[in-house]
Amino acid sequence: MTIQKRVQIGATSTNANILSGSIFEFLPADMVLNLGFVMEGAGLLVTILRNGEIIAEDVVPNIGAAATTMPKIPDDYMVTEEPFLGGDRLTVKVQNTSGGALYLNYAVNYTEV
């Protein structure tokens, strides 16, 4: 299954967890996840953590041709086939280093194991 969303990150600000409140913040079952990201303009950095352990730090997403471009497999996927246990906390921190607000389009693909 796949969930795709879009989030705006304000100028020079950080969203501590774009998945806060989502079913994917605390995984409901054992899963294998794939995470993809596309930003509309330069300036975003993405950090991905599992239970506070860094999986990817300050990775720069690809820039999409339009603000509505969603991540494409495999080019826009930073994390692939990453195992998570039920109850694990997934945190996706996004920092905007630019002087203007930017949108980040993201996809979470998962398979229960």
Give the global pTM: 0.94
Q: 82-97, pLDDT tens digit by residue?
A: 999 999 999 999 999 9
Which alpha helices (H) appear in the chain, and where do they start and end? none
Query: What are the boundaries of each domain within the chain?
Result: 2-112
Query: pLDDT (tens digit, 9 = 90+) per residue, 20-39?
Result: 999 889 999 999 999 999 99
Q: By the 8 A CB rule, do 35 and 78 touch? A: yes
Residue 69 to residue 106: CA distance in whole angstroms: 10
Q: How is domain 2-112 classified at the CATH fold level?
A: Jelly Rolls (2.60.120)
Gap between the Cα atoms of 6 and 69, Å rounded = 10
Q: Which residues contact 28 (CB under 8 A, 6 or more apart)?
A: 86
Do residues 105 and 68 lie in contact, with contact meaning Cβ atoms separated by under 8 Å?
Answer: yes
Neighbouring-strand partners of residue 59: 46
